[in-house]
C-alpha cells in the first residue's frame, strides 16, 4: 500500500510540475500582458501556441524545455476573438509576445506540421529579449 501511495504521489508531482496551461478569450489579454512578479520592469516574454484537437500530433512538443518564458496553449475553438485578432489560419501557430506586443510568429503551412523546433524557437526568444538592448 505504501509503495502504491508513493508511486501515485510521484506521478502527481510530475504532472503538476509539467502541466500545460491553457488560455482562452477570457484570460488571453491578461496572460500576454503579464508583468514581472517582483515589479522590476523586466522584459516579460510570453509564447502562445494556437492549437487544434485534430492536429494535436503536430503540436510543439518541447514546451517544457523552453527557458525564460511563460508558455501557453490556446485551443482555437475556445478563443475565436484571439484567433481573429492574430489572423490564425493554420494550427499550430506559435507567437512570441514581448511585454504584451507581438514580436515574432511561426505559422504551419498546408502540411500542418509544427513550423519551428526547440532550438530555433529558443534562439528567436533570445533575440526578442535582447532586441532593444545596446
Instruction: Give the C-alpha separation, 43 to 97, whole Å.
Output: 10
User: What is the residue-wise DSSP string for 64-108?
Assistant: GG--SSEEEEEEGGG-HHHHHHTT--SSSEEEEEETTEEEEEEE-
Q: What is the pLDDT of residue 5?
A: 54
pLDDT digits (tens, 9 = 90+) for 2-11: 665 545 554 4
Q: Is the pLDDT of residue 14 over 50?
A: no
Strands 93-98 and 45-51: antiparallel
Please give the model's pTM, rounded to 2 decimal places: 0.80
What pLDDT is stored for residue 131 in this prediction?
Answer: 82
pLDDT top residue among 111 and 16: 111
Tens digit of each residue's pLDDT (9 = 90 or more) over 66-87:
998 999 999 999 999 999 999 9
Question: pLDDT value at position 43?
Answer: 76
- The three-class DSSP label of residue 57 is helix
- Is the separation of the CB atoms in 113 and 58 below 8 Å? yes
**Mean pLDDT on 32-60:** 82
pLDDT of residue 35: 63
| Count of Cβ atoms closer than 10 Å to residue 124 Cβ | 19
Amino acid at each position: 500500500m505504501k509503495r502504491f501511495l508513493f508511486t501515485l504521489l510521484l506521478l502527481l508531482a510530475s504532472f503538476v510540475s509539467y502541466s500545460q496551461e491553457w488560455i482562452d478569450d477570457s484570460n488571453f489579454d491578461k496572460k500576454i500582458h503579464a508583468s514581472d512578479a517582483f515589479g522590476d520592469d523586466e522584459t516579460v516574454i510570453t509564447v502562445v501556441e494556437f492549437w487544434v484537437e485534430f492536429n494535436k500530433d503536430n503540436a510543439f512538443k518541447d514546451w517544457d524545455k523552453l527557458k525564460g518564458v511563460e508558455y501557453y496553449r490556446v485551443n482555437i475553438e475556445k478563443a475565436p476573438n484571439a484567433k481573429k485578432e492574430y489572423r490564425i489560419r493554420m494550427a499550430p501557430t506559435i507567437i512570441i509576445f514581448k511585454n504584451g506586443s507581438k514580436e515574432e510568429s511561426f505559422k504551419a503551412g498546408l502540411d500542418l506540421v509544427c513550423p519551428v523546433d526547440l532550438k530555433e524557437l529558443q534562439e528567436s526568444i533570445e533575440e526578442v529579449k535582447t532586441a532593444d538592448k545596446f
